[in-house]
Amino acid sequence: MTTLLTRTENSNEGLKGYFVELADFTNWADNRAIDWLTQITDEQWTQASISSFGSIRDTAVHIVSAKKIWIDFWTDVQDPAYLSSEFKGTREDLIDIWKTISAELRSFIENYPLENYANEINVKKPNGEMSKMVFRKTFPHMINHSTYHRGQLVTQLRQSGFSSLSNTDLFTYYST
């Protein structure tokens, strides 16, 4: 099966530019989500909902945790830990972490050497199982994963009565 990633193996420079764009996109969309979270009540933040995660809080923690863990995998952090398994902080604490991680993502992608795009990344799954995946495949996965869960966040926010939402899709990002 031929994929975009296979076709672009020999043009990592173009792929790097696209990855920088995707990092900027996901940070832009995350900033919109952060803005929503600053407007909701504590009750909405923790209100039970039916989704992959049981509340807006839990979904936001998962989004931030995943973004952080991928950076940890890419930078070969010794014994990376999922934030979602240990986070006990406030909404404001999570937003601060999210903003820091977003800046780290942009810097990492911008500075990651092209020659490393084919390198295998060690991945520790939440169940402790170890796996490997080539970097150039992990990055689009992280972007897609974040987009998926931001969509769930939108649904949970609507269910909680919050309606001051704005579009976060890639087309909107490119057309603004």
pLDDT in tens, 36-87: 999 999 999 999 999 999 999 999 999 999 999 999 999 999 888 889 888 9
Q: Is the dihedral of CA 122, 70, 144, 104 positive or negative?
A: negative
Residue 85 lies in a domain: yes
How remote is the C-alpha of 121 from its chain's centroid?
17
Which of 83, 88, 51 lies closest to 67, judged by CA? Answer: 83
111 in Cβ contact with 92 (< 8 Å) = no
Residue 126 lies in a domain: yes
Structural domains in the chain (count): 1
43 in Cβ contact with 16 (< 8 Å) = no
Residue 111 lies in a domain: yes
Domain residue limits at 29: 12-175
Lowest mean pLDDT among 24-28, 29-33, 131-135, 172-176: 172-176
Entry field: residues in the chain? 176
- Please name the residues in contact with 22: beta carbons below 8 A apart, sequence gap of 6 or more: 139, 140, 143
Residue 164 lies in a domain: yes
Q: Phi and psi for 119 in degrees, rounded to 5?
A: -70, 145
Residue 5 lies in a domain: no
57 in Cβ contact with 89 (< 8 Å) = no
Confidence of residue 12 (pLDDT cuts 50, 70, 90): low
Q: Phi and psi for 3 in degrees, rounded to 5?
A: -125, 165
Residue 4 lies in a domain: no
Q: Which CATH number fits the domain that encloses residue 136?
A: 1.20.120.450
Residue 3 lies in a domain: no
- 149 marked as part of a ligand binding site: yes
3-state secondary structure of 19: helix
Predicted TM-score (pTM) of this structure: 0.91
- 62 marked as part of a ligand binding site: yes
Residue with tokens 């832009």: 28
Residue 150 lies in a domain: yes
pLDDT of residue 1: 43
- 141 marked as part of a ligand binding site: no
Paired tokens of 155:
């649904």
Paired tokens of 166:
């704005």
pLDDT in tens, 74-120: 999 988 888 988 899 999 999 999 999 999 999 999 999 999 999 99
